[in-house]
Chain A
Amino acid sequence: MATFFGEVLSVYSRAVEEDDDDDEEEQDEEDQLILRELEDKRWVGTAGTAATGCATAQSLFMVGHSDLSCVLCAGFVSVYFLSHGGWDAVGHVSLWNERTVHSEDTTCVLHRHRESHQVLVCQVDCFVAEDQLFQWTEQVLGSLDASQVTVLSDCPAAEYQSPQPLGPDPCLRSLHTSAWSEPICCPPVELPNLVSGLPAAVVSFCQLHNISAAVYQCYSDARSADSTTMDMFRPVVARLAQDLKLDFSPDRDILRKFISQANVQSNLYI
């Protein structure tokens, strides 16, 4: 689709093909068997607390993984939460799709704070395909009795549409369900922007089931994790840290490790 300025935008939400479900009836048995096996392989599996449920979480932090190589949110969780110890892995969600074939990350781990059993953190490090989002959400949130859900996510600043472009600094925007009553620490996601992927699936589930939930999306131009961008999420957890008397200060060693890993990949011209 061409715009007024002649640039070509790729359009996503267009149905360009007629229904081809009729083709399914013409497939032979072997093709149907292969497709069924593929469908079974893509089934989202849960174990531990994620499977048996029964956990009543005051706050459940779910970390969305963006399509880019930026591991901002995963880094934030590791640096600010898990590095201090006192967290037990109580469950995991495993899945397979075409993008996890060559990756070691096929599991999302649920961590529960040892002292405050009410706080659960779900670290999503793998890519959840669009046809698995619904199932992932139903399996995880459906089995947990979460009273409040907070989702952290990141997105390229170039995808944020506003009359004035966002500045060079990263910024935070939020979206919350009608049941959310806590103060919001940043402006809302302005129209016509929206949230997609796993954060959208989670917050939609929460809206429909009247669960207090919020998505905090960090828009940044950073191609890799850095301390400034990670720090954007601090206000989100500050209140929880105060209420539960938990230490959420960043672990410098782990932070340095994340940043140096990203820098090694960008040293193209040594």
Chain B
Amino acid sequence: MFIPSQKSAPDLKGFTLIMPVVAVGNVGQLAVDLIISTFDMCRVGHIHTDCLIPMAGNNPYSTRKEDADGVHTAAEVYMSREIKLAVLQIRSPVIQKRTKKFRQVLVSWIKASSFSRTIVLSGSHAYQRDDRQLQGSPLRYLVTPSMLKLSEEALKELGWLEMEKVQTFPGLTDGAAEPRLYIPGGGITKGLYTDSCAEDLPLAVLLLFCSEGDNIPDAFTLINHLNSWLHLLDNPGEDQNKWKIPPSWTLMFGGGIPPALF
């Protein structure tokens, strides 16, 4: 459930919600970090749930003493009233066997908050692309029917590719099996998307084919695609410096080498 940081819950009606899914490369989460850091968004609450592995740390977006605001937890909600944007950041994996419950928690909260639209940032294994997906842009999108009504024109203009469906049994020519949606490495992306279709929520998924490794460039790719739709930043172009990297990204591949090692 949502627990506000202040005494009263913020009014998020009509806001755009951007949220990540814990997926291959953590691309969605890295992209969300860039949004929160760049727009200096303030924390307005937490999602308190038994579905995520607990974690705690200091403020990942600032090291200044005056910005120390207690403990930061596994799922937090940030807000910017100026650009009518709400962001949910998820920092730890979903506990196995509780993925369905977590999707229900998210869908309930999205419905209760009355967001105008929800955008989910995710990833999928690059090595499981089929022949069609090996070429061209690694970005794919999915939209629920109610989101399509809101954004059809914009999506046509952007020229993005919709996530292709795959054969249930590749190679078999049995025409009875219908193609299905398959997002390998996408965590709860597919489930969240199908739940949102069933609940008639305006939701879009933006996902990037990527692999495990240094996924910072992938995060920038994803956020720049998102920006070309939402225009959060004016003309960032190829200049990645417009997006502010948070201090929590330091030492991502480990600390200094102990001198005694050699």
Contacts and interface: CB of A to CB of B under 8 A. Distances in A.
B255 A161 contact: yes
B57 A189 contact: yes
A232 B45 CA distance: 34
A142 to B, nearest CB: 12
A269 interface: no
A145 B235 CA distance: 53
B251 A162 contact: yes
Contacts of A162: 251, 255-256
A33 to B, nearest CB: 16
B99 interface: yes
Given A15-B24, A177-B70, A204 B54 contact: yes
A60 B26 CA distance: 36
**Mostly helix, strand, loop or mixed at chain A's interface?**
loop
B112 interface: no
A123 B99 CA distance: 32
Q: How large is the interface on B (under 10, 10 to 19, 20 to 34, 35 or more residues)?
A: 35 or more
A19 interface: yes
A1 B50 CA distance: 28
A54 B257 CA distance: 50
Interface string B223-258: 000000000000000000000000111111111111
Nearest to B194: A19
Interface residues of A, number: 55
B42 interface: no
Contacts of B125: 16
B145 interface: no
A133 interface: yes
Contact of A192 (B23, B95, B187, B250): B250
A18 B25 contact: no
Nearest to B94: A15
Contacts of B187: 15, 18-19
Contact of A164 (B60, B94, B256): B256
Contacts of B36: none
B15 to A, nearest CB: 22
A191 B58 contact: yes
27 contacts: A1-B213, A3-B253, A9-B253, A11-B212, A14-B24, A15-B94, A16-B185, A18-B185, A18-B190, A19-B187, A24-B100, A130-B53, A131-B97, A134-B54, A135-B50, A165-B257, A175-B58, A177-B71, A188-B58, A191-B250, A192-B251, A196-B53, A200-B54, A201-B54, A204-B46, A204-B54, A207-B73
Given A14-B22, A188-B68, A189-B57, 8 more contacts: A9-B253, A13-B92, A15-B186, A134-B50, A161-B251, A165-B255, A180-B70, A200-B55
Interface of B: 3, 21-26, 46, 48-50, 53-58, 60, 63, 68-71, 73-74, 91-100, 125, 182-188, 190-191, 212-213, 247-259
